[in-house]
Amino acid sequence: MATLTSFRSATVVQFTRRFLGALALDAATFEDVEVDRRAGTQAAMVVLVACIAAGFAAVGSTTMALSTFIMGAASALFAWAVWALMITTIGIHLLPEPETNSRPGELLRTMGFAAAPGVFYAFGVIPSAAPFAFAVASLWMVAATVLGVRQALDYRSLGRAAAVCIAAWLLTFGAIVAVGLLLGRSVS
């Protein structure tokens, strides 16, 4: 029993250290997550918490709180998944460097922890704070993702990682707009 308790304690400490390291944009944290195949569950938890925070932000002052929360959280998860797919495709297959030797799992783990600043989306529940919270959390998440991509794909420069993330973001934005337009037409 004591061994299980100490294992859980060590896991919580490790998760907290990684979460805070991702928030601090610490390259060593992303390197640690990249090489630890067991970090996938922790990375998924970070994405889930960020999506829940986005759900709270979507609620704001609406009266349809539960449906708005679910739609906000689901939209954030969809956007993250599409962005991750685009970054994986562009970074591994279209713009690799000679040193790039990465598997999608490594990249998804680093991108999962790069979602850590998304917890601050929750401040968007305050209508007057929403634009500021969204802008700061989004830019912080992009910076963390650029760093995570650089580490996972073994890029020499942040510039290439930024180019991959920006190209993927533009494609993701286009996909989300297209889905929104299609859903809008099907509702009317």
Token output for 78: 């969809």
> What digits encode the pLDDT tens for the residues 85-115?
999 999 999 999 998 888 889 999 999 999 9
- Maximum mean pLDDT: which of 1-5, 6-10, 58-62, 178-182: 178-182
pTM of the model: 0.88
In the chain, where the domains are located: 14-182
Predicted pLDDT of residue 150: 95
pLDDT average, residue stretch 46-63 = 88
Selection from 118, 57, 59 nearest residue 83 by Cα: 118
Inform me whether the pLDDT recorded for 4 exceeds 70. no
